[in-house]
Structure 1
Amino acid sequence: MGKRATEMLKETLEGIFLADPVRPPPYGSEITAWLRDQSSSDIAEGTIYALLVGIEQRGLVDVEKAPSEKGPPRRVNSLNAQGREHLEEFWRTWSFLTERLEKLREGGK
């Protein structure tokens, strides 16, 4: 996959994650597997960790620590008000882009 496709995929993955932040398990490797299933792509685990850090740093999710049977506490993400606004903007942009691209594919009709 080329650099441009990778960047586009990162943006798309962020939308996928924000659309359903509860379903993926809280560990990065498990989130990676879940997102791979959703996108049918080979996604590097480092990509997912960077995605999660970015989402958290931008204040789109609230993070709580939950006890774990093994190892350190699990970090559980939940979408907050700012994250919901960001997700709504993602879907507006997604709809705009897909409508325009479909028109272009159909020859501009």
Structure 2
Amino acid sequence: MDTTQLFKGVLDLAVLAVLRAEDGYGYDILRRLRAAGLDEVGDASVYGTLRRLFQAGFLTTYVVPSETGPHRKYYSLNAAGRDQLDRSGKVWRAFATTVDTLLGNDRGIAA
């Protein structure tokens, strides 16, 4: 199964979830997503998602100077972002439950 379309559908949710625990800059967020198992997520997709979530008012940013390279723009989940994460998480869980039911996993049948 091509997971590209699945990533597009849940990347906003995944980025918000990663930022729930700790603020992060672009590459750090990408690294955490990959470490969580989203190995195929692309750099451009994550950076585009961060810009979109910021423009939607779900994230705030701040810059941290670096002595070893360029300054880093950190992203932080704000109250609107936490609300969006909660709403999107509920939608995702309901969707995943429905798909699991269709696959028969609610009866212990292996996929």
Give 1:91's aligned amino acid.
G
**Please, which moves more after superposition, 52-61 or 8-17?**
8-17
1:55 is paired with a residue whose SS is: helix
Structure 1, unpaired ranges of 5+:
none
Query: Which residue of structure 1 lines up, in the alignment, with residue 34 of structure 2?
Result: 36
State TM-score, norm by structure 2. Answer: 0.78
8 Å contact 1:13–1:35 — kept in the other structure? no
Q: C-alpha displacement at 1:92, in angstroms?
A: 0.8
SS of residue matched to 1:62: strand
1:58 to 56, 59, 74: 56
Residue 83 of structure 1 pairs with residue 78 of structure 2: no
Q: How many equivalent pairs are there?
A: 106
Asked if 1:103 corresponds to 2:82, the answer is no
What CA RMSD, in Å, does the superposition of the two structures yield over aligned residues?
2.4
Instruction: Determine if contact 2:61/2:74 at 8 Å carries over to the other structure.
Output: yes
The Cα of 1:24 is off from its aligned counterpart by: 6.6
SS in 1 for 2:74: strand
Identical positions, percent? 27
CA distance in 2, matches of 1:76, 1:66: 7
State which of 89, 92, 103 in structure 1 corresponds to 2:90.
92
Deviation at 1:81, TM superposition (A): 1.2
